Amino acid sequence: MTLAMVPYMLALLILVVGLYAIVAKRNLIKVIVGLLLLDYAANLFLVLVGYRTPAEGAPVAPILTAGAAGAADLAARAVDPLPQALILTSIVIGLSVTALVVALAIRLYEKYGTFDTELMRNLKG
């Protein structure tokens, strides 16, 4: 385990925290927060995978601006753009899933008057 591994491990740690929240918490909202953490952890991990250090200088964002030296230079110095494109998609998906799960939680609150999963029939355990 080198120092370079630390960010990856931290990202996976967030994943585990999210899992813990989902498994251990009784409150629907906390479960949803756990879900968000899980989602963010996966996205963060994906972005970290795309990070790379160029031969010289600091890495730059993969955006070709007017003042830049050119595509080849950018390609040599930029981080991998593909994971960033992927997490854009993933974030949109995460947004819609979150919207749906919050809507479900609101509906459940209307039915039961509580967010406590212990008081719901199917969600125990």
Partner 1 sequence: MDQVVPLLVAIPLAGGFLIPVIGRLTKSHRATAILPILMACGVLVIAVLLLARPDETVVYWMGGWTFPIGISLVADGLSKLVVLVIAVISVLTLLFSLEYMTHYTSPGLYYGLFMLMLAGMIGVVISGDIFNIFVFLEIAGIASYALVAYGTESDELEASFKYLVLSAIASAFILVGVAFVYNVTGQLNWAKIAEVIRTGGGLTVPLYVAAAFFIMGFGLKAAVVPFHAWLPDAHPSAPAPISAMLSGVLIKACGVYVLCRLAFSVLGNHQTFGTVLVVLGTLSMVLGALMAVGQGDLKRLLAYSSISQVGYVVAAVGAGLVGLALAKDSKPLAVASEFAVFGGLFHLMNHAVFKSLLFLCSGSIEQATGTRQLDRLSGLGRRMPVTGWSLRVGALAISGVPPFGGFWSKLIIIVALAQLAALAHWAFYIPAALAVATAVVTLVYYAKVQRLVLGGEPSDAAQGAREVPAAMCVASVVLAVLCLASALVILPSVRSRLVDPAVRVLSAAAGPAAEPGIAARSAPLARRRWPRKKGRLHETGLVHRVHVRLVAALDVDAGRGRRLRRRGRGAAGGDAAVAHLSGRPAQGARPAACVLVSGLHPVLPVLLRAGEPGRRLPRAAPRHAHPAGHREGPDRTDERDGQDVSRELHHPDARHPDGGHRRAGPLHPLDQRGGRGGRRALGSDREAVRETAEEGFRVTTFLLIGAVVLLLSAFLCLYRIGRGPTAPDRTVAIDILGTLIVGFCCIMALWTGQDFYMNIAIAWALLSFIGTIALAKYLEGRYYDE
Query: Where on the chain is the footprint of partner 1 (CB under 8 A)?
Result: 12, 15, 18-19, 22, 28, 31, 35, 38-39, 41-43, 45-46, 49, 82-83, 86, 89-90, 93, 96-97, 100-101, 104-105, 107-108, 111-112, 120-123
Closest approach of Cβ 67 to partner 1, in Å?
Answer: 26
Cα–Cα distance between 9 and 55 in angstroms, integer?
25
Kindly state the DSSP code that residue 80 receives in the 8-state scheme.
P
CA terminus-to-terminus distance, the chain:
36
Residue 45 or 77: which CB sits closer to partner 1?
Answer: 45
CA angle 68, 86, 72 (to 5 degrees): 25
Closest approach of Cβ 68 to partner 1, in Å?
Answer: 21
Residue 67 main-chain phi, psi, to 5 deg: -85, 0
